[in-house]
Chain A
């Protein structure tokens, strides 16, 4: 099996702002390694989220190729990408994005039933995952608006994991949460990574970035620096300092 789960070749993404072309990703060649907790960092407007959504098949690149597990996904149409996402990807968003009109359990079931027809099995797996993230059966019967941000984001992680995706994408998952809730969410992502789950997370927060074992620094649409570490095993000052130095070199 290839050690890279995703690779890109000359990946470009251009946006038209009025009459001006804005090149967000420029001929980007990079890989995401299987089982890694990859963190993408960079200044605002560096193209972090654009890269994340291109890699996950949420958005189509302007040019270049994205190969996922040996299969080129950059040429797929929107429905093919939808099928690709349901099978291979899990998402955790900063704004959480749970469907307001469904209970937390239904939000998870909707995703689970896209892949499996075994309702009971999906429900049982969801219940187990909820338990793992510390949500009770009273919590997961609630609507998103009746939950705290941390509870809702933990529910969103359950939704992202329900189909055991090959890769989990997280876009600033703690951005809208308090410090305590943010830590809990990061613990869940670290735990998933420990279990061999590939994770790609976009963040601008050092406390979050430290959870990754590979840091890619993006500047003007290209990866201008990369830093690899051991997998996260708990709070470690040395790890924090090393990462801080790397980021300082990157003029973060």
Chain B
């Protein structure tokens, strides 16, 4: 070891700038891999730990007090595995909620701050506890995702009356604090609670919180309680009542969903960067061996063994990589608060990650072993290299064998011909550049697609994840009023189509499933259906892909649906996809629904207008006409905008980060390749200058050497990115219920970005080639 250290040290001194570029690659790879691994391995764990610290319930039931019975409490309290139960009165109702400069529909639960509670008690993150009748504390999500701040007004609508509160603070909520649950837990003061209850006595609910010996059993209790309370028993008025229940595991899966997707993207991208880094390491090693083959010969001739020289190379490259990896790991911890703040908009969790030795060691080990492996592969032949061969190889006459594009016979600009000749003579290097740039181009194109489809123009994405998105939707309080309200809407000017559309929860083989019931599927415009057809007869059903996989059913199979003690058989005629209801959904005709629930009447009316810009006007007309007969009137696109902006901001940031890293990788690759090429061709540059080539001509020649291959790489990578984007997207979100996607590839945007990449690369190549000015013709003869 002592003998090889001077060799390593000399080699490191000789190639300082190239060592720096290798360090930079290692930093990027380690940074992304460590962040991805921390998110994947620790975010969920951190959530669990945090939830435990707050003594979070494993199951919660919220039900209107008028429907709540002692029998229900007894069932829950005596359920196997329940170790702690607590109940609390609260106010709960469905309302439009101010969010992100728009409104979302959801359930609001108002808790009295003064009530004692053991599970997930009032935990203030910012601001102060609510004071007076108007003060309210909201889940942290409303600050990070909803853009609200302390002191803002918060207007709620209950039974047609508006209540204005003033935000006094934000709290940490595990169970009812994220957008996907659709129910948000708020706190008001004793005075506020009393005043609100006096105004809205019908909104009084009972909350039952349960902790279990095994938290996973919360799911079982959730399923069994729903089955017991709502499917086996027939609670009068349950259809229109405010009822919700949730388990801890369900909440965790929803709240860690974005971190899961982000970590997958980060890890995929980190793997790509590691591959690029390994290619660069391989290039550097072959180049370094080529440059110092005579030194190798000299060292072997004085007695160094092949193994010693092999170890010297391994030590050289592994030490450089190790420095980069350590720096990357360090940087990843510095970047985590930023990543956490981006994710907060969806997770509504403050994630503070301390140094994690296991993850850091995995990152360090994986990258270093990969570098070690590539170094070994690239340097093995040194061991067998005869000293005399090494010494002579410096004067090898066989380096160039074929003369491509003879200048006497080839047409075209001289700079291009010379660059092409040079490229043909360095095919290995060109191929490597192509692969690196193609990978980067693919990442850039994917980033552009993500940015455009989710962050920029989310209409198709919205339809994909939300299913049916009309201009306006009305939910009628009393189902008996629905027909004439529909008739009124149909007769309004500007209305293009109207149909009934309702989402009810049913149970298929012990799985809770969202059931979309429609009176006329020929009217729907959503993109949920991806296989087969929509149901036409009462015994037909379409099921979601995720449910089909779980139940091992496909088109043509029959499926049993339980209601009370009876079972009803349906034939699967199609497959749908949705991210709602955890991906478990089905759809049937109204006649089909009546086979399960004979007294079913529709309450939801979906309306498409000729001009979507007139939605607000239309909503106002209908609301003014029917007032409190409507439970809610929703501007669906405004609602989607408010909800999607949360995803939009996350994906936008991820896309921008990917794009920036891609640019950096292309530029660093270009720098490394061009600098090496210029150094290797110093002599040729000097000769050409002596012959009368200007610096500008030579700069152009060198830029042209790499630009065609970079352009090709960007184009191929971009094409794969455009064509493969939907498959990649589906792979990322399939766990959430999306089975197929046809998101439009932003072709012009991608072309513009790829074109810009090529232009920027050319400008950067010219900048790197600017160093040619320092190579003089005279230096050639004077050195």
Contacts and interface: CB of A to CB of B under 8 A. Distances in A.
Most-contacted residue by chain A among B399, B681, B689, B692 (CB, 10 A): B692
Interface stretch (B359-367, B602-610, B652-660, B772-780): B772-780
A79 B696 contact: yes
A78 interface: yes
B693 A82 contact: yes
Given A99-B684, A145-B400, A49 B692 contact: no
Contacts of B781: 49, 53, 58, 93, 95, 97, 171
A109 B408 contact: yes
B694 interface: yes
Contacts of B778: 53, 58-59
B691 interface: yes
Nearest to B418: A110
A83 B694 contact: yes
B692 A114 contact: yes
A141 B403 contact: yes
Contact of B691 (A95, A111, A145): A111
A111 B687 CA distance: 10
A218 interface: no
Contacts of A101: 400, 421-422, 425, 681, 684
B403 A102 contact: yes
Nearest to A122: B408
Q: State the majority secondary structure of interface residues on B.
A: helix
Nearest to B684: A99
Contacts of B384: none
Given A101-B422, A145-B397, A145-B400, A110 B780 contact: no
Interface stretch (A31-39, A84-92, A181-189, A243-251): A84-92
Interface string B363-399: 0000000000000000000000000000000011111
Interface in B126-150: none
A43 interface: no
Contacts of A99: 684, 687-688
Given A58-B778, A59-B778, A146-B397, A105 B408 contact: yes
Interface in B399-452: 399-400, 403, 406-409, 411, 414, 418, 421-422, 425
Most-contacted residue by chain B among A89, A97, A141, A146 (CB, 10 A): A97
A164 interface: no
A58 B692 contact: no
Contacts of B780: 97
Contact of A106 (B397, B407, B694): B407
A102 B692 contact: no
A115 B396 CA distance: 33
B403 A106 contact: yes
Contacts of A114: 414, 691-693
Contacts of A93: 781
B684 A100 contact: yes
A84 B693 CA distance: 10
Interface string A133-148: 0000000010101100
B776 to A, nearest CB: 7
B408 A98 contact: no
Given A59-B778, A105-B408, A123-B408, A100 B400 contact: yes
A111 B683 CA distance: 16
Contacts of A85: 690-692, 777
Interface string A96-137: 011111110110011101110001001100100000000000
Contacts of A58: 690, 776-778, 781
Contacts of A91: 690-691
Number of contact residues on A: which range applies? 35 or more
Nearest to A94: B781
Interface in A11-33: none
Nearest to A106: B407
Given A105-B407, A145-B397, A78 B695 contact: yes
A159 interface: yes
A103 B400 CA distance: 9
Contact of A79 (B397, B407, B694): B694
B530 to A, nearest CB: 56
Given A93-B781, A145-B397, A145-B399, A82 B694 contact: yes
Contact of A97 (B414, B421, B687): B687
Contacts of B399: 100, 145
Given A78-B773, A101-B684, A83 B692 contact: yes
A86 B408 contact: no
A100 B394 CA distance: 13
Interface in B685-706: 686-696
B692 A82 contact: yes
A243 B397 CA distance: 41
Contacts of B407: 102, 105-106, 109-110, 113, 119
Contacts of A126: 408
A115 B692 CA distance: 9
A105 B406 CA distance: 8
A109 B777 CA distance: 19
Nearest to A104: B403
Nearest to A82: B694
Interface in B726-783: 773, 776-778, 780-782
Contacts of B422: 101
Nearest to B777: A58
Contacts of B400: 100-101, 143, 145
A123 B689 CA distance: 21
Nearest to A119: B408
Nearest to B691: A111
A184 to B, nearest CB: 22
Contact of B414 (A59, A105, A113, A143): A113
Nearest to B692: A86
B403 A98 contact: no
A248 B430 CA distance: 59
Contacts of A105: 406-408
Nearest to A98: B687
B288 to A, nearest CB: 20
B693 A119 contact: no
A78 B694 CA distance: 8
A119 B528 CA distance: 64
Nearest to B396: A145
A91 B691 CA distance: 8
Contact of B692 (A59, A111, A146, A171): A111
A105 B776 CA distance: 24
Contacts of A87: 692
Given A98-B687, A110-B418, A143 B692 contact: no
Contacts of B411: 119
Contacts of A102: 403, 407, 421
B693 A103 contact: no
B690 A103 contact: no
Contact of B406 (A53, A97, A103): A103
Contacts of A86: 691-693
Contacts of A106: 403, 406-408, 421
A113 B417 CA distance: 12
A78 B776 contact: yes
Nearest to A84: B692
Contacts of B691: 85-86, 91, 110-111, 114, 159
B343 to A, nearest CB: 52
27 contacts: A49-B781, A53-B778, A53-B781, A53-B782, A58-B690, A59-B776, A59-B778, A78-B694, A79-B695, A82-B694, A86-B692, A86-B693, A95-B781, A97-B683, A97-B781, A99-B684, A101-B425, A101-B684, A102-B421, A103-B406, A106-B421, A109-B407, A111-B691, A114-B414, A114-B693, A123-B408, A143-B397
The 7 A-B residue pairs with the shortest CB-CB distance, nearest first, are: A86-B692, A109-B407, A123-B408, A145-B397, A59-B778, A79-B694, A103-B403
Given A79-B696, A106-B407, A123-B409, 14 more contacts: A79-B694, A82-B689, A83-B692, A86-B692, A91-B690, A97-B683, A97-B780, A97-B781, A99-B688, A101-B400, A102-B407, A106-B403, A106-B408, A171-B781
